[in-house]
Structure 1
Amino acid sequence: MTNPPTTSDTNIDFSALRLQLTSGSEKVQQQLIHKLATLGNAGLDVLMEFLLQRRFNPPSGADGTAYQILCTADSTSAKEFLQTYFPTGIVPLHSDRAIDYIPLQQLLAVQDFQAADRMTLQKLCELAGSAAVQRKWLYFTEVENFPIPDLQTINTLWVVHSEGKFGFSIQREIWLSQGKNWEKFWTKIGWKNGNSWTRYPNEFTWNLTAPPGHLPLSNQLRGNRVIAGLFSHPAWEKLNT
């Protein structure tokens, strides 16, 4: 069971919180969601209502945070709710090549970002074909043939489950904001400090205290050609989430 509200929380106006949650900006929503997570079963009930109201909308970072809290809550009703309405997760898992993205969604939902990063490369290799799966890394020439729905699915999973902090589209926005200057970009996202590259895995930050765009790593240890291919992919021109 979840922890019950404290005595000082029993007078909280949950109706007002519901209204603020549905009408507020994403920043406000994130703050309220984290607050509701501390308010026992009543708070979880509000989060379930919030997700139910939004289940046919493109998922946001706020949706992802609410989903993560319900996933990790010690609550039978929360688990039953998620199994009923979101059995494969909060993000629709579209794939043109029958790739199973449920394992990636599950890792991101519990914010195991290091394992999710490894899983992301695995899924990109699956998209590239059996040769890439065997070698466990990508040629930049393979990236241009990735289906748009698959790249968007992987990206949306990262964005939604990181409060909008991680993902290929986030990295691309930062890269563009730095005038496509790779050296500035590496520093901005924490992959390089001065002339020193961040060492894998211990020098990377595997949680939300990392700089925006820090993850996923996109095979960066093999240079910038793969990530350049990702950034030039038409998936981002048609991104609607």
Structure 2
Amino acid sequence: MATASLQSPHHPHLYHCRHRRHFPSTTTSSSSSSIFPTLSLSSSSSSTSTTATLAAILAPVTSSPTFDALAGLLAAKDFQQADEVTRRLLIALAGEAAEKRGYVYFSEVQFIAHADLQAIDTLWLRHSAGRFGYSVQRRIWKKARRDFTRFFIKVGWMRRLETEVEQYTYRSFPGEFIWELGDGTPEGHLPLTNALRGTQLLGSILTHLAFEVEEEEEEESAEKEEGEKDVSSSMRLFKPDYSF
């Protein structure tokens, strides 16, 4: 399996697909498949297999899920199905063209309503004790200086190899991903995002104005709260003494 070190210039490309969720790689397995494209492809990979795989990936979504469906799955802690429904919701929200082709162009993300993207994020936050969601991923990504390799490692989409040199490899879907909320589950691990064509889609989601507005409101609220504390503290320190 291809590996990537922390200093690697290559960006791993995470993807979701509706049916098999498989990408042609140098090694195949009947039980699991890599959710990242490998850094190099073997010449022995058959064109027939590749064509069939891509056809499954690009198959159009035939039915649109609802926010209620997502809420129900998250409440039941069925994070794997909730992850799939989230992907399909994004496709539906991106418009008719996205639904027909079965995936979202990064340039279409800006047209998704702020309220809709915030609603998805709120549901993930609410049912994960604030551990999952796009806003959580945005914070981690910004803390990683917007470096996707570091971000993927931080949220657990890559795992460290048992080698003397610090190296990482992409996790295989679905077996190597964590579908339950536990103490060892990395913050921001879910939801996954389609990055088959690069990291632009994920970047467009994480930089969507919906989360920038939320961030600004949180910062303003924090500043206001801090200001009130300062005033209260100041009043205690300089309270006039009329006891004479």
TM-score bin (small chain): 0.5 to 0.7
Which whole-Å CA distance do the structure 2 matches of 1:203 and 1:120 have between them?
Answer: 20
The 1:201–1:136 alpha-carbon spacing in structure 2 relative to 1, beyond 3 Å, is farther
Higher RCO (Cα < 8 Å, 6 or more apart): 2
- For residue 176 of structure 1, what is the amino acid of its counterpart? K
Q: Is the 8 A contact 1:99 1:127 kept in 2?
A: no
- For residue 117 of structure 1, what is the amino acid of its counterpart? D
- Normalising by structure 2, report the TM-score: 0.56
Number of residue pairs matched by the alignment: 144
Q: Counterpart in 1 of 2:175?
A: 202
Q: For each residue in 1:174-230, what CA deviation from the matched residue of structure 2 results, as whole angstroms up to 9, or x when unmatched?
A: 011111111111100011123411112111100113200000002144431111001
Q: Counterpart in 2 of 1:151?
A: 117
More helix as a share of residues: 1
Q: Secondary structure at the match of 1:238?
A: helix
- For residue 204 of structure 1, what is the amino acid of its counterpart? F
Greater mean alpha carbon deviation, residues 211-220 or residues 112-121: 211-220
The 1:222–1:207 alpha-carbon spacing in structure 2 relative to 1, beyond 3 Å, is farther
RMSD after superposition: 1.9
- Runs of at least 5 residues in structure 1 that lack an aligned partner in the other structure: 1-97
- Runs of at least 5 residues in structure 2 that lack an aligned partner in the other structure: 1-63, 160-166, 219-244
Q: Is the 8 A contact 1:144 1:233 kept in 2?
A: yes
| Candidates 76, 79, 86, aligned match of 1:113 | 79
Task: Give percent identity, aligned residues only.
Answer: 42
Which whole-Å CA distance do the structure 2 matches of 1:195 and 1:126 have between them?
Answer: 34
- For residue 169 of structure 2, what is the amino acid of its counterpart? S
Q: Counterpart in 2 of 1:218?
A: 193
- For residue 74 of structure 2, what is the amino acid of its counterpart? L
* Residue 141 of structure 2 is aligned to residue 166 of structure 1: no
Q: Counterpart in 2 of 1:192?
A: 158
- For residue 171 of structure 1, what is the amino acid of its counterpart? Q
Q: Counterpart in 2 of 1:46?
A: none
Q: Counterpart in 1 of 2:225?
A: none
